[in-house]
A and B are shown apart, each in its own frame.
Chain A
Amino acid sequence: MKSNSALLIVGHGSTVNPDSSTPTFAHADEIVRQGVFNEVHCVFWKEEPSLRQALHLIDSDEIYVVPNFISEGYFTRTVIPRELELTGPITHRLGRTIKYCDPAGSHQRMTDLLLRRAAEVAPGVPPSETTLFIVGHGTNLNDNSAVAAKREVQLIAERGLYAEVLNAYMEEEPLISKWDELASQKNVVVVPFFISDGLHSYQDIPVLLGIESEITAAASQRGIFRNNPYRLRGKTLYYASSIGTEPLFANVILDQVAAFDQLHREDAE
């Protein structure tokens, strides 16, 4: 219990897609429900409340900041520390202590979450006859998320459950649009390595997969999510929603707080 502390979850947000911030708010609601913190708030880079407004939202003197990002990178290393005026893992400012945790997506539990999501989306389909794709964005700007996606693929492959585990990207090789050529198995499960069902995972990737012929409206503005499975290009395709929408992600955020405490307790000893 951290009944004297605040949790601040930082999301990217979007000025055009209302679904971008939805999982961040959902995880905050779940953590509020668990009653772990005195207060729980979300702030965003592209929406309100902004990072710059964060401290005016919070009454508590101890604040844990967890980036709801899929990996370490430009936002977690440059933008968030700059906008929150952090000086390191622990910042003392105006009588407050701000503890800056690792991003949710870099926690070791992510591997289990990806496997869980893959199993959920294709019930009854034997993994031993399935190719599993973990799809990232894949440009130089998002290099760190590509590295993180590769690491997850390796960890999942090491467990030996799936016949094949592959990385694919939207904008660089191996391209997800060639999923049918890349996959050796007749069953194909695709899990987007993204925080929300925003532009990329809900609107762009379905077109690249061939399950939509053109960009659709945002997820929240359509009645249904997906009609799995898709019989396409001679294979059976199952497309999951983004890993960041997994309800257990709330627990991963809490795990990052615990990991921070453990690390800095060891430092103090």
Chain B
Amino acid sequence: MGQIVIQQSAPGFELRHFEDAGRNDLALYSNPVEARAISTYSDAGEFRPLKTAPTLRHGWRLQLPDLESLRTALDFFYPAMLGSLLSHERNELLPVDLRETLGRQSGMYAVTKKITDPQADALIETVCNSAHGCLKTILWQIAPDRPVTSLPAEKFNPAVSQIPAALPVLPMLCAEACNLLVAAAREVVKKVPVAE
């Protein structure tokens, strides 16, 4: 899931960064709550408010005794992603298009309604791309008749891994634009000079 490899390791599971697969110098953790601290900062020491950003730090492994602790750890690493996937499989994860998300904003974010479709498309490419932005698979469109065109088709396909590794994947599903994208949309609208 995301940048994490989950392996069965009797009697439970072991988690590590997929790029740490061959390392034997990893710091060992065994409490699922440690996942919160591991995922707070990147390798560069930067705060990670978006947990699905491709910036999970390296150098750790987490041994967990059972499914319950695995779920707890994954909910700290990638909040709500397992639950969202289960909801998706029950057809209960209902994508919300960007226009609807922006349309209900109030206060300082009410202005985001003014973003144009091309501006939104360009912003989504910058904020959501899997290489530097976010590893989620996008399920929503800009509007019912306006798909996102700035990112490759794989970004919208739950069957495709968003990391450069050939591993079976539990997709992380994005049913709706997050607050980070809404906040970025506000910046776009605020910066654009009034057309003359």
A→B interface (CB under 8 Å): 13-18, 25, 29, 41, 45-50, 52-58, 74, 78-79, 82, 94
B84–A25 touching, CB < 8 Å: no
Minimal beta-carbon separation of A26 from chain B (angstroms): 11
B107–A74 touching, CB < 8 Å: yes
Given known A52-B176, A74-B107, A79-B106, contact A57–B75 (CB-CB < 8 A): yes
B40–A53 touching, CB < 8 Å: no
Main secondary structure on B side of the interface with A: loop
CB-CB under 8 A from A47, the residues of chain B are 49
B178–A18 touching, CB < 8 Å: no
Across the interface, B80 reaches (CB within 8 A) one of A15, A46, A53, namely A53
Given known A52-B176, A74-B107, contact A16–B80 (CB-CB < 8 A): no
CA gap between A217 and B107 in the complex, in Å: 29
Interface residues of B in 114-169 (CB under 8 A from A): none
Check if B12 is an interface residue, CB within 8 A of chain A. Answer: no
B47–A16 touching, CB < 8 Å: yes
Minimal beta-carbon separation of B42 from chain A (angstroms): 11
Minimal beta-carbon separation of A219 from chain B (angstroms): 13
Task: List 8 additional A-B contacts (Cβ < 8 Å) besides A15-B180, A41-B75, A46-B179.
Answer: A18-B41, A29-B33, A45-B179, A50-B179, A52-B175, A53-B84, A56-B87, A78-B106
- 17 A-B residue pairings within 8 Å (CB atoms): A15-B49, A15-B183, A18-B40, A18-B47, A45-B179, A48-B178, A50-B79, A50-B80, A50-B178, A50-B179, A52-B175, A56-B80, A56-B84, A56-B86, A56-B93, A78-B106, A82-B106
Minimal beta-carbon separation of A172 from chain B (angstroms): 19
| Among A25, A41, A52, residue most surrounded by chain B Cβ atoms (within 10 Å) | A52
Between A and B, how many residue pairs show CB distances below 8 Å? 61
Given known A18-B41, A48-B52, contact A25–B80 (CB-CB < 8 A): no
| Among B47, B52, B75, residue most surrounded by chain A Cβ atoms (within 10 Å) | B47
Interface residues of B in 78-116 (CB under 8 A from A): 79-80, 83-84, 86-87, 92-93, 96, 104, 106-107
CB-CB under 8 A from A45, the residues of chain B are 179
CB-CB under 8 A from A13, the residues of chain B are 49
Check if B58 is an interface residue, CB within 8 A of chain A. Answer: no
CA gap between A49 and B77 in the complex, in Å: 10
A48–B92 touching, CB < 8 Å: no
A53–B104 touching, CB < 8 Å: no
Q: Which residue of B lies closest to A49 (CB)?
A: B79
A25–B36 touching, CB < 8 Å: yes
CB-CB under 8 A from A78, the residues of chain B are 106-107
| Among A57, A74, A78, A79, residue most surrounded by chain B Cβ atoms (within 10 Å) | A57
B87–A48 touching, CB < 8 Å: no
CA gap between A131 and B92 in the complex, in Å: 56
Given known A18-B41, A50-B178, contact A94–B92 (CB-CB < 8 A): yes
Q: Which residue of B lies closest to A59 (CB)?
A: B83
Q: Which residue of A lies closest to B86 (CB)?
A: A56
CA gap between A100 and B40 in the complex, in Å: 29
CA gap between A15 and B52 in the complex, in Å: 14
B41–A48 touching, CB < 8 Å: no
CA gap between A181 and B117 in the complex, in Å: 54
Minimal beta-carbon separation of A120 from chain B (angstroms): 26
Minimal beta-carbon separation of A23 from chain B (angstroms): 13
**Top-8 shortest CB links A-B:** A49-B79, A53-B80, A56-B83, A15-B49, A49-B80, A48-B79, A56-B84, A18-B47
CA gap between A58 and B47 in the complex, in Å: 26
B178–A82 touching, CB < 8 Å: no
CB-CB under 8 A from B106, the residues of chain A are 78-79, 82
CA gap between A142 and B152 in the complex, in Å: 43
A48–B49 touching, CB < 8 Å: yes
Given known A46-B49, A48-B50, A48-B52, contact A53–B183 (CB-CB < 8 A): no
CA gap between A25 and B36 in the complex, in Å: 9
CA gap between A48 and B78 in the complex, in Å: 8
